[in-house]
Amino acid sequence: MNHTNSTINLTAVARELEAQGPTAVLRWAIETYGDGLAVATGFGPEGIVNLRLVSQIDAAVHVFFIETGLLFPETYALRRQLQARLGLTITAVYPELDPAQQAAQYGPDLWRDNPDLCCFLRKVAPLRRHLAGKKAWVTGIRRDQTPARAGAQVVAWDEVNGLVKINPLANWTSAQVWEHIRQHDLPVNPLHRQGYPSIGCRPCTRAVRPGEDPRAGRWAGFVKTECGLHLNYEL
């Protein structure tokens, strides 16, 4: 199948797929959008679950990650493991400026001086460029991750990027995600076992202390919980 957005009632589709589970959501997305579908991953637990499910349906689906140039070595190693294990090709999408060029133009510590601008340059802008020719994209967001994600539907229109957004795990809990990983013995980032429940770029990620929110290690010291990929984000 290959529909246009004008022929699909996304609200009705979301209502129908909500109780069917992530495999049904992904199968619908792949059958509906074909080559126009892009599966995003940041190599977190949710993304790993999505990648396994996608590989079971069609391992040729386009999968990508935003290569900020500032990821942990463990994250790059995990990419290689997942490609080998699942038979996927995980494409790197780059910002216009590499870290050295950004430092020359904006200063060496933009991540600390203006983290919103840094995230925009290294994540949001390359994502928007990459999605410009696509019809739909898949993410790993869940409703209970942050207040900004509480209203996420399994299928919805993405006003910011101008395409359909697929959130197969929107109604899953963290416990369900980790149980799926255990059941299928999937590789994960070893930093999770070292107190890093949420892992982004090296300069903006620290281990979480006992009793802290799982995302407290992201942009510590700033009133910031999102990089902007899932927000109406303009600078």
Predicted confidence at residue 230, as pLDDT, reads 47
Predicted confidence at residue 219, as pLDDT, reads 63
Residue 40 · residue 137 · CB < 8 Å: yes
Question: Mean pLDDT, 10 residues at a time, over the chain (235 residues)?
Answer: 59 94 97 97 97 98 97 98 98 97 95 91 95 96 84 92 96 96 98 92 90 74 50 42
**Nearest-angstrom CA–CA distance, 142 and 151:** 9
Predicted confidence at residue 41, as pLDDT, reads 97
CA-CA distances (angstroms) from residue 36 to 1, 29, 111, 181? Answer: 12, 10, 33, 28
Angle between helices 45-57 and 174-183 (to 10 degrees): 50
Non-local (6+) Cβ contacts of 125 within 8 A are 95, 96
| pTM of the full structure | 0.88
Predicted confidence at residue 222, as pLDDT, reads 54
Predicted confidence at residue 1, as pLDDT, reads 37
Q: What are 30's two structure tokens?
A: 């792949």
Predicted confidence at residue 198, as pLDDT, reads 87
Q: 3-state DSSP call for residue 115?
A: helix
- Pseudo-torsion of CA 217, 221, 224, 229, nearest 10°? -50
Identify the CATH class of 5-99+125-192.
Answer: alpha beta
Q: What are 57's two structure tokens?
A: 């349906």
Non-local (6+) Cβ contacts of 83 within 8 A are 89, 90
Residue 233 · residue 122 · CB < 8 Å: no
Q: Which residues are identified as catalytic?
A: 227
